Structure 1
Amino acid sequence: MKDLKVLHREKLSVRDFFCHYGKDLQLAIHSPETDLDTFIAEGGIHRPGLAMAGYTKVYSSEQIQVVGHTEWNYLESLGPEGRKKVFENLSVFKAPMWVVTHAQTPHDELKEMCNKLHIPLFSTTLHTYEFNKVVQRILEEFFAPHAVIHGSLVDVYGIGMLFIGDSNVGKSECVLDLVESGHRMVADDVVHISHVGNTIVGRPDPLIRHHMEIRGVGILDIRSMFGIHAIRKVKKIEVIVELQPWSRDVSYERTGLNERDEIVMGVSIPKVVIPVAPGKNLTVISEVIAMNALMKMNGQNVAAEFNESLMQKIKAKAKGEYSDDLLEMDPQHWSPYE
């Protein structure tokens, strides 16, 4: 993870954006198809109300421009001459695309500006909030820092567990056993990760997808063998599990008090190191790691609670207040013969 090569996407083609998301966003184009050859270089969305009113000092012209219900009615109130002046002022800026929401018809003056500057113009039946929410998510993920790592990602009880380790240590075999136990595979061997918001999200490689390689067996299609419920397209990474060949010279965590973290693209993720040895049931251990993570998310830290109880016993014994646990049993509700 230390030598992780972080990549950044610089621009998104409006043509690709329209081809991939136009149907879901209910976009209708009002420009020639040749005008789609522009690029979105920033991840934000801008509503140009202030710019239309004449204040352009903080105008985010490099972002997608959205004309919502408020902006459309403002333009409507100006009349043709007022609108012409507005878009003459804005014609010195070239946005990547304009979108009119609420199924409203773009004004002729906006169409003229877009045609003159070869800016794609769209309308959508979606409300402004709905459109902005979806597009913001699309752009956030597209422009997010991303990287490719060697590992396997699986959803265990809702916890995204990223298995890492040297080749031939047993990552794929462990994930295969987890899938057979009813858990869901996200990616094997190659995991594409991205920093979205405050989380690290993992996806499968577009070519490999839901396939897995098992040495001695070959390539397996997990979706075909186990069903659609056995795979996921994306999952937040919540625990990193490093599998290491067992060694006498290595000291492994035994109490759980010394919690480890791995910093991945600036995000701290809990990490567990598991020694691999013949006869060790990695599937059960993985399930226990996931359940322990769920308990911590719900405010219960078993290791810390056990340590606190132990320290209280030690302090009580030092003060001469210690009593045998057997004396704490309720004789009315306990029998050694049950």
Structure 2
Amino acid sequence: MKEITVNDFFDAKKKDLALSLITEPETLNKKIGSPHINRPGLALAGYMEIFAADRIQILGETEVRYLQSLPEEVLISRIRDMFKMDIPCIIVTKGLTLPPVIEYLANELNIALLSSRLSTINLIDNLSRYLREIFVLEKTIHATLVDVFGLGILITGKSGIGKSECALDLVHRGHSLVGDDLITLRYIDDQLIGKAGRDIGHFMEIRGVGFVNAERVFGIAHTRKQKNIDLQIELMPWQENMDYERIGLVNNYAEHLGVKIPIIYLPVSPGKNVSVIVEVAAMNVILKSVGYDAAEDFNRKINDEIRKKTMQKNFEGKGDETGRSDSNQ
């Protein structure tokens, strides 16, 4: 599980979240280990049975007014009980003023107390977005990612199979490159998103040519910073005795970071126009999304044809039997 220190968070977002430190700098040494935040209303009321102590705690106007209304001995008891849970830090919104005893207890128990000029809603929105980015699930794989007809297509396969060459041809045909060779996959807001694994631009390694800067060669309109991944195409060497999918009724899936995406195992051989097949695969996915499945349509028509021929054969058979019956009379 990822962790960041409160000090790193404060330095990174001090300006964006209009943060200021109320307690001593030494209180910034705690670690944040959760992408979530918490408003500790029940904890302040004395109910500590279910308390998300590992999260950043947010005190808005409601919580501050409640604390200001408490008798001092009750306030001290409630705050001390909450601070003993070893929370990472507390952020007070709207620049509101807390009772002085809270600052004293925060310094005593080494809890960072921060103040933000932002409203509670704005702070929660911006802070949640930042924490999602920090704690997002991610992994980096050897692959190439392209945008074909608006679909993010992850091209995978063994080194030297032709991933970069396929992507180069697709970009030449008007599509867009997201990244080549190394792709970082991230799970954000229930979406699998891919981006280049190295932040050095849209370079491609083409064997026999060397490095090509796709952005300079084809223009910035043919590159993307990131893209939702809709389909994976695994390039694999052609093998004579391999049982490849020929109709398309079987749906295969690959799983990345807990997300399943359709995968096509595409055999490649000299002379095969892989980029055109990738385009057709993309259009097939788009058609499926609007309710048309070519494999099911083909299967239905074949079954209809078999049914018609069977009915015709049965009809002709009955006719023959009737003719023989008449002749016997």
Does the TM-score normalized on the shorter chain lie above 0.5?
yes
TM-score (norm 1): 0.81
CA distance in 2, matches of 1:128, 1:202: 32
CA distance in 2, matches of 1:30, 1:225: 53
In structure 1, the residue corresponding to 2:284 is in which secondary structure? helix
In structure 2, the residue corresponding to 1:88 is in which secondary structure? helix
Residue 231 of structure 1 deviates from its aligned partner by 3.1
Kindly tell me the number of residue pairs found equivalent between the two proteins: 313
CA deviations on 1:155-198 (whole Å, 9 max, x unpaired) are 22232211111111111122222233333322211122234464
CA distance in 1, matches of 2:201, 2:99: 45
Residue 107 of structure 1 deviates from its aligned partner by 4.5
> Unmatched 5+ residue regions in structure 2?
314-329
2:212 maps to a residue whose letter is L
**Inter-CA distance 304–110: structure 2 relative to 1 (3 Å threshold):** farther
Which of 215, 218, 235 in structure 2 is aligned with 1:223?
A: 215
Give 4+ residue runs of structure 1 displaced > 6 Å after superposition: none
State the match for 1:194 in structure 2: 186
Alignment of 1:235-314 (within 5 A): 235-314=227-306
In structure 2, the residue corresponding to 1:109 is in which secondary structure? helix
1:146 is the counterpart of 2:128: no
1:243 maps to a residue whose letter is L
In structure 1, the residue corresponding to 2:275 is in which secondary structure? helix
CA deviations on 1:54-105 (whole Å, 9 max, x unpaired) are 1111111111101123222322333666544432332312211211224434
Residue 239 of structure 1 deviates from its aligned partner by 0.9
Identity %: 38
Which of 106, 109, 114 in structure 2 is aligned with 1:117?
A: 109
2:303 maps to a residue whose letter is M
Question: Does the 8 Å contact 1:42/1:62 carry over to 2?
Answer: yes
State the match for 1:36 in structure 2: 28
Residue 288 of structure 1 deviates from its aligned partner by 2.1
2:128 maps to a residue whose letter is Q
**Inter-CA distance 154–35: structure 2 relative to 1 (3 Å threshold):** farther
State the match for 1:88 in structure 2: 80
Question: Does the 8 Å contact 2:184/2:194 carry over to 1?
Answer: yes
Question: Does the 8 Å contact 2:182/2:198 carry over to 1?
Answer: no
State the match for 2:120 in structure 1: 128
Which of 20, 41, 52 in structure 2 is aligned with 1:60?
A: 52
Whose Rg is larger? 2
CA distance in 2, matches of 1:22, 1:251: 59
State the match for 1:77 in structure 2: 69
In structure 1, the residue corresponding to 2:208 is in which secondary structure? coil
CA distance in 2, matches of 1:97, 1:178: 50
CA distance in 2, matches of 1:184, 1:24: 33
CA distance in 1, matches of 2:177, 2:26: 42
**Inter-CA distance 47–198: structure 2 relative to 1 (3 Å threshold):** same
CA distance in 1, matches of 2:306, 2:13: 63
CA deviations on 1:105-135 (whole Å, 9 max, x unpaired) are 4543333333333333323344434433443
TM-score (norm 2): 0.83
**Inter-CA distance 320–109: structure 2 relative to 1 (3 Å threshold):** farther
Which of 7, 11, 26 in structure 2 is aligned with 1:19?
A: 11
**Inter-CA distance 281–194: structure 2 relative to 1 (3 Å threshold):** same
CA distance in 2, matches of 1:21, 1:280: 52
CA distance in 1, matches of 2:117, 2:85: 26
Alignment of 1:155-194 (within 5 A): 155-194=147-186
In structure 1, the residue corresponding to 2:265 is in which secondary structure? strand
CA distance in 2, matches of 1:212, 1:248: 31
Question: Does the 8 Å contact 1:141/1:194 carry over to 2?
Answer: no
